[in-house]
Structure 1
Amino acid sequence: MRFKNLFIIGGSICMITLGVLIAPKMLKSDDLGKANKYYEKYDYKFAIDIYEKLLEKSPSLEVAQKLANCYRFVNNTIAAERAYATVLTFPGFDPINYIYYAGILKQNGKFDQAKRNYLMYAERVPEKSDYAVKLANSCDAARLWLQNPDVNVDIENENSFNSEHSDFSPIAYANGFLIISDRWFLKSPENDKNAKVYGWTGNSFLKIYQAEQAKDSAAGVMQLTLLPEQINDKYHNGPATLNADGSAIYFTRAGVADDVDLKKAKDVVFRKTIYLASKINGIWSEATPFPYNSPYEYSVQHPALSPDGNILYFASDMPGGFGGMDLYYSEKSSNGWSKPINCGNIINSDEDEVFPFVRKDGTLYFSSRGHITIGGLDIFSSKGDKNSWKEPENLKSPYNSTRDDFGIFFFQDNLSGYLSSNRPGGKGADDIYRFYQKPKEQFYAVEGKVNEKGTGNPLSGLKIFLINKKTGEEKTTISAEDGSFKFALEKETDYTVRGDMDKFFSRQEGDITTKGATESTVFNVKFEVEKVEEAYLVRLKNIYYDFNKYNIRKDAEPELNKVVAFLNNTPSVNIELRSHTDARGKAAYNLKLSELRAASAKDYLKNKGIGKERLSSKGFGESQLLNACADGVKCSDEEHQLNRRTEFKVVKVSPVLSYLPAPFKNFR
């Protein structure tokens, strides 16, 4: 829970400040009050020791609940699973524990159990059932992603960086990297009884380390040094981001400002802040605070610079967000940094979005609990900038696991880099992992099939044209017995694909482009064509109009609704509404009346959500009678009614283009 750590100044000046504790001596008695004080000050490591003993001797819902919460906060999912299972055995527990328990089960890879507990919450809290069902359904996606990892991505533990403690969020720096770690670098509780301990974890405070290849050592052996005290103060520091030339650093810091009087600042919560420093003549300046920090009110953390250094992205729980931690951005100008703006609800959810990173191509990477995840925090990517983004994509497995995955960094090739995770099998709490995505051999092609409209029969022997829109070069092929055809395509090229215009509708064509394609792509084209001499015409039944009227009557709506369904099911089709009258009355009047009736039918379809560009209308008056009831011929009302009809005709069938990734062999 690196991004929610709050830091409390207690009543004692030196012994208990900001979660800084002298490692506690052996307790003489298991005291609930003492455990609760540790709990309230976020010193979960010490609270756990007492709660465990209390639960064994004097079990109660309060003790079980707080113990479970402690394990959840320190990310011990194995112990948390056991603890929340215990909570659910006590009468009167808060139903939110189903959600907590399910989340822990999901992180432990127990998706069926997690799903059952999410649904139990939905049953117990009906007003939040939609939320709970969404979480339950996410278990199915999580299992699918986990069981089908990307075989083109290799991930391995970066042993040279990692220790038995937390190590995460590496970035390139000078001839090596900067990493964040809470390892005991200078002193540890074992060799210094006065060593400062962070009560949340029981470890040292987070510091920013420089990691370089150790001199006169085997390849892969890294030498770590602390950044100077201008950057690393006595409390938490990191993660960090650098500008392009490494002359400016922005980093998270949590601690007490120099002007705070600890004697007076009793029970004040200090949250995380961003600081920045510059390197001048090889020496780091004193760090100065980001102008929009507010340590008494909310956290500002996890800075990430855009490639040009002019946009600073970061995470914050400042008022006005969508929930939890949101991502924000601030723009650099001659007057400094602009007021932060939320990145918007495409990126941000009602839970936490944290650890942003901007790749050199502008792609934003971040970690989230609020989007659909495999387990804890998952890494997502999105294209865009500032507060305009495309829907985030989960990187799936193996980038993401059932545990927390965050702190991603890419090398210049945009294919390899580092990420951080507390997934099983690591050396410590959080470890740094190196990933490498194998470059894919790119190819482009179009494959398609031609069927006759109406019958669905494959059309063989039809000439298909592929036209290079820039050069005008034409390639042709003949559809096979099953109606199939294919062409190879060049990269960065625009094409038109069309059928034989002599035998079939001339508008049977579609555009394809390989411009901007970053991976192998097969364009799957389906032609549903009709012969010119057999135009696709459908007569609508029971479309009646009152005498001398053109409005759509209620009894005509069911038939027109069938047209709506047809158009919704065939989005590649445009139609023409065609209305006719009987022969009674003057021909000019009947023509006008039929045009109005056709237009009414078109307006009805538009009001049902059909795009106007897909509709046209035409009136034929009495010019196309279906029987002998012309002027002067005596006919019954039923015979005249046969001629008062509305039809629709397909006037354009655009090919359906589907984009399928290279590994797929069964094209739609």
Structure 2
Amino acid sequence: MNKYVRLIIFSIITVVLASCGASKLGRDALLSHQIGEYYKAIEKYHKASRKEKDRTKRREYAYAIAECYHYIGDYERAALYYQNAIRRGYEDPEALFNLAEMFRFTQKYEEAIETYRAFLDSVPGDDRARTSLEAIRQTQEWVANPTRHIINPIKEINSRESDYSPVFVGGRDNEIIFTSSRQAATGKKKSMITGQDYTDLFRATFSVQRQKWEQPQLLDENLIINSGDEDGAATLSSTGEQMIFTRSRYDKTKSLGTELYTTSQSRGSWSEPIKLQVVGDSLVAAHPSLSIDGSVLYFVSDMPGGMGGKDIWKAEKSGGSFVNPENLGAPINTPGDEMFPFIRDNGELYFSSNYHLGMGGLDIFRAVKDEEGNWVVENMGYPMNSPSDDFGIAFVEGQNKGMFTSNRKGSRGDDLYDFMVPPKIFRVEGEVFNKENRTRIDGANVRIIGTDGTSLRLRTQNGKFQMTLKPETEYIFAAFKDGFLRDKASANTIGLEESKDFRFELFLTPTDAPVNLENINYEFGSWELLPESKTSLDTLVATLMLNPTITIEIMSHTDHVGSDQFNFELSQKRAQSVVDYLIEKGISSQRLVAKGYGETWPKTVTRSLARQYDFLKRGDELTEEFILKLPEEQQEIARAINRRTEFRVLSTDFIERFDAEPER
């Protein structure tokens, strides 16, 4: 919820309880609530409610308890107490909105939608409710279309208490420092905010031999870093020698502030922490993140000049100090809370927000600068985000893997999860065939050209070849062998978000026999090409361009119907029509010969034709005598087969000649 809306509601609760002469327990609960001791406030509200007989006060207590549970992220309990307050007659429609939010955060989407709509009946057009309804729709879309991230809880590290905000030592993946309130922590006081023990900084290392994380240990056994207050949420320099961390101090009645401290390590020992003067006294500074060169510190604060709630700020290093804090502004910061920044070595900024469109609670967002230097923010989607709280992300330097924190279903609280984006793998598997008999061609050459500069040659084994392709690259594959026309195929990995296997077949045409051109048709008794013939001839154009050293003869054939002279003349003109079309498409006339054969070269049935027509067998010659012995229907099929246009290769060493310009 917007921080200022919550403050207004809290003020109303305060006024109501105070004006009704609330008991001492009620006043104490309000004081704890006011200074942010939410866990302690819940205990006191319960005690006050049990002793209170006034229905109005008990209703206000129920709503205040819901607000406290909401703030500390216990959304299921918060929902129960919002419902309790509403049943008791709590009239402010804000209770409906908050209840709908709790339903959304706990994945009770049908109840959430119904409650949002009830809220909109009271507050028509409320932008927050409309945004949350859109978030439910978007959440379902994210879950249906997950990202490539693979995530797993780190069972060896996680405890029953809170474990969060990991940071990799030296950017490597075998050692982390993280924050925890586990029993081994030195601070045995209970946090008045969460009810858990105060947090300390812990170290964990990964055992290569055992292939698992070792038992975490306190970062500082000498209690120089870990203190009686809450210590955690740290960042390290790229070498791991300097650390900046968060410390929250309290006395018996109030918070003394959350501040940043810096320390350095030498020979395994940490120096006495020194407070960083990044913001003024009494202001919050937390969740630090250092840029890779250590020159910029990103942190969280609610200091004046922000956009509402907690914002992300940055301060640049000058003379050993970080000075002149600057609010990152929109679109990163919002009226809600933006926290736990992490700046990657590639300049990408990651942070968590409860205001940007998300799945619920805190979601992790990625911000990248565009060509004009403006931040572009995007939700990391599912499974990195969940309807619960997801925050405190850290990357291994130079790699698409790391850790983050989540209290999603299946967690025992705030738990650490590792994540990785598996590399996109692109493979190609090809087969090279003899187009005439469909047998694989062993020892064929395959030339591979890529837009990234790739230039390779492979040789087929048993007619097959394979290789791995690079991302964001376009490839051409050309297969060739002496005695065959070339063929080619292409593969393109540009823009592909998932791994992919490419499979294709290349067909090399033998040059020792005529090659039939399919679908070459003419007007009846004419040599004018029909439109559909030109599509087929374009394939021949591509073949000639792929095989620039061949010359061919275009061979046109007719059936036996009509006089010999007519058929010769018609076939010659038809062959010339094909040659003219090829020249028009840019093929040199020096590579083309037109020849009409009339009815003198009957077709010999190939294996393909025999499979297509069961009355023919391979090797049959479709002479006039053979055809006239067939039934009439089969005769027409045989005559149609004879009416064909073919080409054959005349030479394979063509070099185009250019006539010299005449002397002037």
**Given the two structures, how large is their TM-score scaled by the length of structure 1?**
0.57
Q: Would you say the 8 A contact 1:402–1:423 is kept in 2? A: yes
In 1: Cα distance, 2:152 partner to 2:269 partner: 35
Which shows bigger deviation, 117-126 or 303-312? 117-126
The SS at the match of 1:383 is strand
Give the letter for the 1:252 counterpart: T
The 1-side partners of 2:186 and 2:497 are apart by 50
Structure 2 match to 1:344: 329
Partner of 1:373: 358
Q: Does 1:418 align with 2:403?
A: yes
Q: Within 5 Å, give how 1:386-401 maps onto structure 2.
A: 388-401=373-386
Distance verdict in 2 for CA 1:232–1:215, change over 3 Å:
farther
In the other structure, the counterpart of 2:130 is 133
Residue 197 of structure 2 corresponds to residue 204 of structure 1:
yes
Give the partner amino acid of 1:340.
P
Shift of 1:104: 1.1
User: In 2, are the aligned partners of 1:343 and 1:388 still within 8 Å (CA)?
Assistant: no
Q: In the alignment, which residue of structure 2 is the partner of 1:236?
A: 230
- SS of the aligned residue for 1:331 comes to strand
Letter in 2 for 1:181: S
* Cα distance between partner residues in 2 of 1:369 and 1:407: 13
Classify 1:215/1:439 alpha carbon distance in 2 versus 1 (closer, same or farther; 3 Å).
Answer: closer
Measured against aligned partners, the alpha-carbon deviations of 1:202-254 in whole angstroms (never above 9, x if no partner) come to 22111111223589989433241242433222211110000011111011111
Equivalent-residue separation in structure 2 for 1:187 and 1:272 (angstroms): 19
* Cα distance in 2 between the residues matched to 1:39 and 1:313: 29
The one of 150, 155, 162 equivalent to 2:151 is 155
Structure 1 residue 119 displacement after superposition: 3.7
Alignment partner of 1:72: what SS? helix
Q: Which secondary structure does the structure 1 equivalent of 2:69 belong to?
A: helix
**2:315 pairs with 301, 309, 330, which one?**
330
CA contact (8 A) 1:359 1:414 kept: no
Aligned to 2:26: 32
Distance apart, 1:494 and its partner CA: 9.7
Cα 1:131–1:77 change in 2 (3 A) is closer
Farther-moved stretch of structure 1 (347-356 vs 168-177): 168-177
1:507-546 equivalence runs, <5 A: none
SS in 1 for 2:330: coil
Which residue in 1 is equivalent to 2:36? 42
Does structure 2 conserve the Cα–Cα contact (< 8 Å) formed by 1:212 and 1:224? no
Instruction: Report matched runs for 1:402-551 at 5 Å.
Output: 402-412=387-397, 414-427=399-412, 429-442=413-426
Give the counterpart of 2:278 among 271, 277, 292. Answer: 292
Question: In the alignment, is the contact (CA less than 8 A) between 1:106 and 1:402 conserved in 2?
Answer: yes
Q: Name structure 1 gaps, 5 residues minimum.
A: 5-28, 189-194, 257-261, 445-466, 474-487, 496-512, 523-668
| Alignment partner, residue 362 of structure 1 | 347
- Residue identity (%): 32
Q: Higher helix proportion, which one?
A: 2
Change (3 A) 1:67 1:335: closer
- When Rg is computed on C-alpha atoms for both structures, the one with the higher figure is 2
8 A contact 2:263–2:272 mirrored in 1: yes
In structure 1, C-alpha distance between the alignment counterparts of 2:76 and 2:205, rounded to whole Å: 35
- Distance across 2 between alignment mates of 1:215 and 1:443: 31
Backbone CA RMSD of aligned residues = 3.9
Q: Does residue 101 of the first structure (1) align with residue 99 of the second (2)? A: yes
The correspondence of residues 32-111 of structure 1 with structure 2, limited to 5 A, is: 32-52=26-46, 54-55=48-49, 58=53, 59=55, 60-111=58-109
CA deviation vs aligned residue, 1:464-484 (integer Å, no higher than 9, x gap): xxx99999x9xxxxxxxxxxx
Give the match for residue 564 of structure 2. none
> What's the CA shift for 1:398?
0.8
Shift of 1:187: 6.8
The answer (yes or no) to whether the contact 1:213–1:223 under 8 Å persists in 2 is no
After TM superposition, give the deviation of residue 395 of structure 1 in Å: 1.0
Aligned: 1:172 with 2:168: yes
Please tell me the residue identity of whatever aligns with 1:437: V
1:250 maps to what in 2?
244
CA distance in structure 2 between the aligned counterparts of 1:315 and 1:103, rounded to whole angstroms = 25
Q: Distance in 2 between matches of 1:289 and 1:315?
A: 16
Structure 2 distance, partners of 1:335, 1:50, is: 46
* TM-score of the two chains, using structure 2 as the length reference: 0.57
Q: Which segment is superposed worse, 196-205 or 56-65?
A: 56-65
Query: 1:109 Cα deviation (Å)?
Result: 0.3
Q: Deviations over 1:309-345 (max 9, x none)?
A: 2111111111111121111111123463230111120
Between 325-334 and 379-388, report the one with greater CA deviation.
379-388
In structure 1, how many angstroms separate the alpha carbons of the residues matched to 2:203 and 2:409? 26
Residue matched to 1:656 = none
Q: Distance in 2 between matches of 1:232 and 1:38?
A: 26
**Following TM superposition, by how much is the alpha carbon of 1:431 offset from its aligned partner in structure 2, in angstroms?**
0.4
Whether the 8 Å CA contact 1:305–1:311 is kept in 2: the answer is yes
Report the Cα offset of residue 396 of structure 1. Answer: 1.0
Could you list the per-position Cα deviations for residues 74-119 of structure 1 after superposition, in whole angstroms to 9, with x for gaps in the alignment? 3222111111111112335322222321221111001232233334
Secondary structure at the aligned position of 1:392 is classed as: strand
Equivalent residues of 2:310, 2:336 under 8 A apart: yes
Whether the 8 Å contact between 2:278 and 2:323 is mirrored in structure 1 is no
Deviation at 1:304, TM superposition (A): 0.6
Between the aligned partners of 1:205 and 1:349, the Cα distance in structure 2 is 29
Contact kept? 1:254, 1:272, Cα under 8 Å: yes
